[in-house]
Amino acid sequence: MPILQIRQAIRDAMKEEMERDERVFLMGEEVGYYNGAYKASEGLLDLFGERRVIDTPITETGFAGLGIGAAMCGLRPIIEFMTFNFSAVAFDQILNNAAKLRHMTGGQFGVPIVFRGPNAAAHMLGSTHSQAFEHFYAQIPGLKVVCVATPYDAKGLLKTAIRDDNPVLFMESELMYSVKGEVPEGEYLIPIGQADIKRPGDHVTVITWGQGVPVSLKAAELAAADGISCEVIDLRSIRPLDEAAIIQSVKKTNRAVAVFHGWPYGGVGGEIVARIQDLAFDDLDAPVGRVCYEDVPMPYAENLENLIIPSPERAYEAIKRVLYKKA
């Protein structure tokens, strides 16, 4: 089975879907002649030409709106943000047009569009380029939100997202584009809304997604050295949420920790805690733990940034706390 980087898996997914369906096109800053800011669209301009691989000016609200209009007219755009931090400029287009047009037109218009790009903190990019936007978009009915952590998941979920008749926010990571993994050569799709158990275990359920996945797996290794068995669940899909997978695991382990990029106040982590409390309260032997950003803007200095973002060590400490082991 071929070994690909996440950037290559994303590129292959777009290539295959563009070959399969002539309505699919890619648009964004530097996606064509520069092959994408992180080389995720390498070679696509040569294969499909300027009509289907479109370089744009630095105008996120403009090309997001163009993509939504194209989707309303029957095309299937892939809109790349150089970073999801820049999607804030296009927030009105996503919130009030992409998410709501099917509802407001009584189903007369669909918006089959994918917004994709890197999300959350990278390395020393400062407070304006280090935000985790799944927490913003997961609140909005009418959108689907996907966060990927492996090449296999990236390809299978992106192909599914492109074929979806609803707007999908597809979130990647600058720090994970080079992550390698096995990817089947043949056609495969991964359903949106289906979590994946990345590591089975019995003592603690660790719920995570995106950049939190490698952190959680390393924390599970630390825990295993101490005789603690962690079940690591990669949600993959934030909206819709695989509630059943979470609750089934918590009913088995009786303890849970959420590990994610993002601030503690509100957001997806708080939603997960609320659902566990609502659906598995009697199964819990300890309060649900959370490991996330500190509640401050992201600093630029490397030593301070490392204190803010989740680490395997911080996750391991949270795992020990829910087991009432001395931290």
Active site residues: 60, 129
Query: Is 152 within 8 Å of 177 (Cβ atoms)?
Result: no
Name the helix (H) or strand (E) containing 279.
Answer: helix 267-280
Task: Tell me how far the alpha carbon of residue 23 is from its chain's centroid.
Answer: 25
Distance CA 221, CA 203 (A): 13
Instruction: Please state at what angle helix 312-322 crosses helix 212-225, rounded to 10 degrees.
Output: 60
Can you point out the beta strands (E) in the chain? Answer: 3-5, 24-28, 53-55, 76-80, 114-118, 144-147, 168-172, 180-182, 196-199, 204-208, 230-234, 237-239, 256-259, 289-291
Distance CA 207, CA 226 (A): 20
Distance CA 88, CA 61 (A): 9
Distance CA 132, CA 151 (A): 20
Three-class DSSP labels, 151-209: HHHHHHHHHHHHHCCCCEEEEECHHHCCCEEECCCCCCCCCCCCCEEEECCCCEEEEEC
The answer, yes or no, to whether the previous bond of 240 is cis (omega within 30 of 0) is yes
